[in-house]
Chain A
């Protein structure tokens, strides 16, 4: 699927929704190992692949190893976000003190 920043995608296997924060071009973004759905696409019956069910947490960001693809979970769910069958990692950021 063609990713671009701002694109909203939903999971075909659970309640997860994400927004693309970084990453453009033809990237096979998955949730639970199954391709995520473009806006307006109908979900068929699909189950998550075993081992890709760590889940997504609301407000957390997930990225690939070199940080070229990053998504923000705007709805939580049971599937893991990945590219193909490889799960993305939870992005840990040191919280900054409130400044405004």
Chain B
């Protein structure tokens, strides 16, 4: 098993289709496989252990990813937005490695011991012609490591998640129909290469035969313009991106009729944003996908029909589904467990556990985190309802314990976001001698503290009402849309 099998099949099935870029000028599947064989030769000659990548999305990304698989070296994308010190630490952990770097990134890693740095355009030129590894000469050992992905580290030091070929291929075979895309389909990828969704999008699109259009640095206007100019039919965005797209589309009063499917994930979607998006794209099929790096991307999804039904329903139990991540993929199992690891009944909150071929649940150095029965405890809080819909409440580390009561920040955030004068909000716990922790709401908006406390108390128990409300002009997010709660905690602890 090797991710190259997916590309090899694409070549057999529809090798002349454009895989990456614009029709006519982009890379076809056949060209991508040929370049990967040359990249594999290049990495093999370099004699390194890994192939690293420090750049925005470009055609060099799939060539390096598949080239690494050809050479039998793990692919290790790095976050180019990291501060110099953090990047240097990760680069050192990644060596000895070949590293494909963006033109503006070369100098940042050039002096790192054990790295053989090649600039992106030079790398692409080197794969245009010349020596290549033999066709089909890649390892088929399913346990080989395909990708090492540093987790975003919103709660601490980044860990290197291990994704083996069997995990990634298992995910694709279980969730994507081979050649399931029509020749006119194109997907717009705007998540960066170091995000699991960015890599999964490459593999899914190659197997489905869907052309990939890459957006190196997201901004809403460019996204909108690319959808229109490239006839984009599919796209995946994180919630912060969708919020900006919705704002810009409203401001420009523009329509994007080519967009048939829009999926989102990677963080909590505010209800007002998805509500507005469903109105702006009346014909588009929406998908909410929930997954983790450690699970090779999506493990649960809320599909298009569920979105539209929930949007028009008067039944609160159906409406509520817009805040769920839908139902687990049929190829895996999801179970909600209590603190002792025992399964809880539907409707009871607990920890989300998942088991299946795509679930890696493993980190470099630390090893496998799977239980003896193969379950991966995700550290996400959640519950399954009676109909099998999964509601994820957030990281268990973020749960606030106030006077012995466990309080999920997401529940309070959802209520506060429904207030018309709240644009964004984060709820966090503040250490407190009397209560253990108290509830602080960090609000972007103009509603007064008293209004907000009363607003929550009316809709949830009074113990859920924030003890403190502080105001900010904006909240700190990382570039893939994850709220940085630890930054807020540190700020509030200081004040």
Contact = CB atoms under 8 A, between A and B. Distances in A.
B329 A97 contact: no
B475 to A, nearest CB: 25
Interface residues on B, range: 35 or more
Contacts, number: 85
B180 A95 contact: yes
B179 A59 contact: yes
Contacts of B201: 100
Interface in B156-201: 165-166, 173-180, 187, 197, 200-201
Q: State the main secondary structure of chain A at its contact with B.
A: loop
Interface stretch (A5-13, A26-34, A46-54, A81-89): A5-13
Interface string B203-217: 010001010000000
A93 B175 CA distance: 9
B231 interface: no
A94 B480 CA distance: 30
Contact of A59 (B1, B9, B187, B236): B9
Contacts of A99: 175, 204, 236, 263, 265, 287, 289, 291, 297-298, 301
Given A72-B173, A100-B298, A19 B5 contact: yes
B272 interface: no
A99 B287 CA distance: 6
Contacts of B399: none
B177 A74 contact: no
A96 interface: yes
A100 B200 contact: yes
B142 A5 contact: yes
Contacts of B166: 5-6
Nearest to B199: A100
Contacts of B329: 96
A93 B287 contact: no
B141 interface: yes
A41 interface: no
Given A5-B166, A6-B166, A7-B140, A98 B261 contact: yes
Contacts of A8: 140
Interface string A1-27: 000011110000000000101000000
B183 to A, nearest CB: 15
B141 A96 contact: no
A12 to B, nearest CB: 19
Contacts of B261: 97-98
A100 B197 contact: yes
A73 to B, nearest CB: 9
Nearest to A22: B357
A5 B1 contact: yes
B175 A96 contact: yes
Contacts of A59: 9, 13, 177-179
14 contacts: A5-B166, A6-B141, A59-B177, A93-B330, A95-B180, A97-B301, A98-B187, A98-B204, A98-B208, A98-B210, A98-B261, A99-B291, A100-B200, A100-B201
Given A6-B142, A99-B265, A100-B200, 19 more contacts: A6-B141, A6-B166, A7-B140, A58-B9, A58-B12, A58-B179, A59-B13, A76-B12, A93-B177, A96-B176, A96-B303, A97-B263, A98-B261, A98-B263, A99-B289, A99-B298, A99-B301, A100-B204, A100-B291
Interface of A: 5-8, 19, 21, 58-61, 72, 74-76, 93-100
